[in-house]
Structure 1
Amino acid sequence: MVRYGFDSEKYLRRQTDAILRRMEEFDNKLYIEFGGKLMFDYHAARVLPGFEPNVKMKLLERFRDQLEVVICIYAGDIERKKMRADFGITYDMDVLKIIDDLTERDIAIGAVVITRFDDQPAAIMFRNKLEHRGVKVYVHRSTKGYPTDVDTIVSPEGYGANPYIETERPVVVVTAPGPGSGKLATCLSQLYHEHGRGVRAGYAKFETFPVWNMPLKHPVNVAYEAATADIGDVNLIDHFHLEEYDERTVNYNRDLDAFPLLRHILEKITGERSRYRSPTDMGVNQIFFGIDDDDAVRTAATQEIIRRYFHYSCDYQSGAVEKAAVQKVSILMEELGVKPEDRSVVIPARNAARGAKAKGKGADGVFSGAAMELADGTVVTGKNSHLFHAASSLVINAVKILAGIPDGIDLLSINVIDSLGHLKKDILGDKMLGLDLEETMTALSICAATNPVAAEAVEKLRELENCEVHLSHIPLPGDEVAFRKLGVNLTSDPCFASRCLFDR
């Protein structure tokens, strides 16, 4: 059962005050580099139970009249169609989604900046698409002299070669779909232009994790390290801050490595000693002050680390990450004294798969199991058969329990199942005839039109949001997409669900 440990409203009050104070220090022109997800920050919501996934957007709404947003995207990410895994969409599509979300909330959008632009065809097409829809687009090429020649970087040939982004409001939030998108370079380029125009603009960093004023090895900070194992982030004590103030704070390796150069650039731009004596000084994050139950947060963060272990294990099996990412999270788990089986739904899912094998109920010779923990702590299981994927069986069983429907009552009409099977086999030529979860939910909604019991089950689908789910196999596309829409926290063992190399 969920135990809340974070107060989003308390956090919002602290965070609003911190940004206002920082803005006042810089002649009311502040560029804030927003790290992490601007919206739907599910990592934060999982490690800080009670954190609203869209709390950052609520923060922006409080500054609506003083703020505009600049969105950065790296041209190389457009070209290679980099994905945002939690949504299953590419970075360029996520930029469109961010624009829609901001527009819906009446938050001003200054521009989209395509960074490290090198005339990539896909980036040109994306720029054209945005401009045809009335969005201002700027392109920034790689900065000449970066990272060693500061005199060139801070010159007309360096940042001065970038077009100045016209902004009107005192706070400019610079955000992106993900890391490596050029947010910092965009902020510094703007500072160069602003100071050249006589505006004493400033820079600040808003980064939720790691939490600077929590212990280095607190599970919340360790969960950040686990989440970034694929890009090699490491949490460290900010030695600059320790030396300057004799205070232990936490930052991560990339910020610590970049700080001397960043401070040098800031001082070159402004012509004065930087007020920032450490990476910690640059931040405005107040997330720590929203935590009101440390034990609940520790438990939640530990579970997130286990989830990351499964995610990286599957990504490694699929060829998406190196084995080092899996090994790193394994070490983090060992340090905390936890193992994969400490996730409550892992053993039941594996037992369900063994149950399918014992009964000889499988598809393509593969026997799969699934388990879900409902909000009240009840664990439900499902296994695959010639009719259903394990994920489909699981969700059907779960909504039956939530609706109080006896197990012996069928929710799906055999005629609907046969019709879908005919479509898959005889019309579309699919080899795997069992219904995946997306197909099963469609069939359930069709049956609901004439079956009141099925209609009641459909309504219970919404109660599956945030439930924990584990599969004994890597989910097939139709299962993964459906689980994402349901909003469950999904993990799986790094085993393929089919012997086929090509999954339709």
Structure 2
Amino acid sequence: LKLIDDLRENNISVTAIVITRYSGQTAANTFQKRLKRHGLQVFLHREIPGYPSHIEEVVSEEGFGRNPYIPVTRPLVVVTGPGPSSGKMATCLNQIYHESQQRHTARYAKFETFPVWNLPLNHPLNIAYEAATADLSDNNAIDNFHYDAYGVMAVNYNRDLQTFPLLQGLLSRITGSNAKYQSPTDMGVNCITSGFCDDKAIQQAAREEIIRRFFQYYAAMQSGQGDEKTFERIEEILHKANLRPEDRKVVKAARQTALDCEAAGKGDNGIYCGAAIRLRDGTIITGKNSPLMHSAASMILNAGKHLAQLPDSQHLLLPEIMESVANFKNGLGTRKRVGLDLSETLIALVVSASRDSYAKRALDCLHLLEHCDVHLSHIPGGGDEAALRHLGCSYTYDPISPTRNLFFA
């Protein structure tokens, strides 16, 4: 549903929704009704036995012929989906089959950004693609079909290379010709390198992304939402890129801040957390946790003071507002800890800014935190994560609990 909203915001009309591999599932029926109530056309494509390897059966009235054709009015149609293996290619082939049956000529191409076919195999940007798909076990490789056809080196990935002979066979069977596509790379539309103006910056951004993905998979494994195989894969990718988690500068800073917090006897109830953000000019600002607020909240307030050129000693949150929020949280009786998370801190800052010029100056600078790198030494709570996303920060964290409780939010 969000994808539909995003497309409409960009003035791209949505003709229809296709539910693939349909076999009468209750959840699919419920979702179909929901879509129809929104006035959307819904088509059901059932799973085709033997797809894609049994070409004779697939390209027949009992294969693609059983699934309905989706009427379109434009010469160029975009087929997209919410993720990998959602049936995009099968939907395209189904359309081409029905167009062919009507004696219309239809073609298919993929708009696929990564891996970048005309960059070196081990360019950090292509390795970053492997990091992003570590859970799918994608591996980049040289497209041997492209080299055999044109004598040109091109980069593709394992799933496309493995399925190309089958896809080529399906297209040949449907259209009666395979002259158009000689390789998986032929099928892709990718001109991204034409927009490169600073390869050094691109490589560094790709390295940062690889490390971010490492922390993402590490946290997923520790929480039980990911598996060890995926984590081993991201470790291999990190090693291939010659990187360590600590190469992300904010990681060292956040961890050291947590150690400093403990050494100073601060923290909250024996828990010592650190947070660090790297500003656009490279300056690193840190924050510690305390009984008053989380480390992420302290970090953002400190960053606001730095950007507004205010002294560290300047308080931004009015005492009466802090006291009111703490009393409210304590009065709910649902939390033993009343320290403000980042979302609550930002609300308090907004209220304070209406009455305090220093708070307003800091608040007016927070838009400069967009795209800044952040690392937390502990797992952020829901209020911290939501606010970091709202600020547009690229955050990672060590999967260490910030409380002795088994459950926290």
TM-score tier by shorter-chain length is over 0.9
**Corresponding position of 2:378:** 473
Letter of the 1:435 partner, please give it.
L
Using the alignment, how far apart are the partners of 2:129 and 2:218 within structure 1?
17
Q: How far apart are residue 168 of structure 1 and its match?
A: 0.7
**Corresponding position of 2:178:** 273
- The percent identity for this pair of structures is 50
**Corresponding position of 1:214:** 119
Q: Structure with the greater relative contact order (CA < 8 A, sep ≥ 6): 1 or 2?
A: 1
Q: Does 1:365 align with 2:300?
A: no
**Corresponding position of 1:326:** 231
Superposition pairs of residues 225-240 of structure 1, within 5 angstroms = 225-240=130-145
CA contact (8 A) 1:263 1:274 kept: no
CA contact (8 A) 1:144 1:157 kept: no
**CA shift digits 1:296-330 (9 cap, x unpaired):** 21122112111111111111111121122222222
**Corresponding position of 1:258:** 163
**Corresponding position of 2:188:** 283
Letter of the 2:152 partner, please give it.
E
Q: How far apart are residue 119 of structure 1 and its match?
A: 2.7
Using the alignment, how far apart are the partners of 1:123 and 1:195 within structure 2?
29
Runs of 4+ deviating beyond 6 Å = none
Q: Of 276, 295, 310, which residue of structure 2 is paired with 1:390?
A: 295
Q: Of 52, 56, 81, which residue of structure 2 is paired with 1:147?
A: 52
Indicate how the Cα distance of structure 1 residues 363 and 160 shifts in structure 2: closer, same or farther if over 3 A, else same. Answer: farther
Q: How far apart are residue 274 of structure 1 and its match?
A: 4.1
**CA shift digits 1:1-40 (9 cap, x unpaired):** xxxxxxxxxxxxxxxxxxxxxxxxxxxxxxxxxxxxxxxx
Q: In terms of Rg, which structure is larger?
A: 2
Superposition pairs of residues 23-422 of structure 1, within 5 angstroms = 96-422=1-327
Using the alignment, how far apart are the partners of 2:275 and 2:88 within structure 1?
41
Q: How far apart are residue 364 of structure 1 and its match?
A: 4.3
Using the alignment, how far apart are the partners of 2:178 and 2:291 within structure 1?
71
Q: Return 490-499 or 250-259, whichever deviates more.
A: 490-499
Using the alignment, how far apart are the partners of 1:115 and 1:458 within structure 2?
47
Indicate how the Cα distance of structure 1 residues 199 and 364 shifts in structure 2: closer, same or farther if over 3 A, else same. Answer: farther
CA contact (8 A) 2:127 2:241 kept: no
Indicate how the Cα distance of structure 1 residues 239 and 370 shifts in structure 2: closer, same or farther if over 3 A, else same. Answer: same
Q: Give the secondary-structure state (helix, strand or coil) at the position aligned to 2:136.
A: coil
Gaps of 5+ in 1: 1-95
Letter of the 1:472 partner, please give it.
S
Q: How far apart are residue 123 of structure 1 and its match?
A: 2.5
Using the alignment, how far apart are the partners of 1:137 and 1:263 within structure 2?
29
Q: How far apart are residue 213 of structure 1 and its match?
A: 0.9
Letter of the 1:170 partner, please give it.
P
Letter of the 1:373 partner, please give it.
R
Using the alignment, how far apart are the partners of 1:431 and 1:314 within structure 2?
26
Using the alignment, how far apart are the partners of 1:277 and 1:456 within structure 2?
60
Q: How far apart are residue 121 of structure 1 and its match?
A: 2.7
Q: How far apart are residue 151 of structure 1 and its match?
A: 1.3
Normalising to structure 1: TM-score of the pair?
0.79
CA contact (8 A) 1:266 1:274 kept: no
Q: Give the secondary-structure state (helix, strand or coil) at the position aligned to 1:321.
A: coil
Q: Give the secondary-structure state (helix, strand or coil) at the position aligned to 2:16.
A: strand
**Corresponding position of 1:493:** 398
Indicate how the Cα distance of structure 1 residues 463 and 240 shifts in structure 2: closer, same or farther if over 3 A, else same. Answer: same
Q: Give the secondary-structure state (helix, strand or coil) at the position aligned to 1:140.
A: strand
Q: Return 369-378 or 318-327, whichever deviates more.
A: 318-327
Superposition pairs of residues 7-18 of structure 1, within 5 angstroms = none
CA contact (8 A) 2:19 2:42 kept: yes
Normalising to structure 2: TM-score of the pair?
0.96
Q: Give the secondary-structure state (helix, strand or coil) at the position aligned to 2:18.
A: strand
Using the alignment, how far apart are the partners of 1:437 and 1:120 within structure 2?
41
**Corresponding position of 1:442:** 347
Using the alignment, how far apart are the partners of 1:151 and 1:460 within structure 2?
63
Q: Give the secondary-structure state (helix, strand or coil) at the position aligned to 1:263.
A: helix
Letter of the 1:272 partner, please give it.
S
CA contact (8 A) 1:145 1:158 kept: no
Gaps of 5+ in 2: none
Q: Give the secondary-structure state (helix, strand or coil) at the position aligned to 2:77.
A: strand
**CA shift digits 1:335-385 (9 cap, x unpaired):** 332211111111110111011111222234321100001111111000101
CA contact (8 A) 2:96 2:107 kept: yes
CA contact (8 A) 2:108 2:187 kept: yes
Q: How far apart are residue 126 of structure 1 and its match?
A: 2.1
Letter of the 1:354 partner, please give it.
L
Using the alignment, how far apart are the partners of 1:173 and 1:420 within structure 2?
49
CA contact (8 A) 1:357 1:367 kept: yes
Q: How far apart are residue 176 of structure 1 and its match?
A: 1.5
Using the alignment, how far apart are the partners of 1:144 and 1:330 within structure 2?
38
CA contact (8 A) 2:132 2:210 kept: yes
Indicate how the Cα distance of structure 1 residues 281 and 428 shifts in structure 2: closer, same or farther if over 3 A, else same. Answer: farther
Q: How far apart are residue 240 of structure 1 and its match?
A: 1.3
Letter of the 1:129 partner, please give it.
R
Using the alignment, how far apart are the partners of 2:148 and 2:6 within structure 1?
42
Indicate how the Cα distance of structure 1 residues 126 and 296 shifts in structure 2: closer, same or farther if over 3 A, else same. Answer: same
**CA shift digits 1:220-277 (9 cap, x unpaired):** 1011001111110000111111222222111001101111111111111112234211
Q: How far apart are residue 428 of structure 1 and its match?
A: 5.0
Using the alignment, how far apart are the partners of 1:258 and 1:341 within structure 2?
38
Q: Give the secondary-structure state (helix, strand or coil) at the position aligned to 1:116.
A: strand
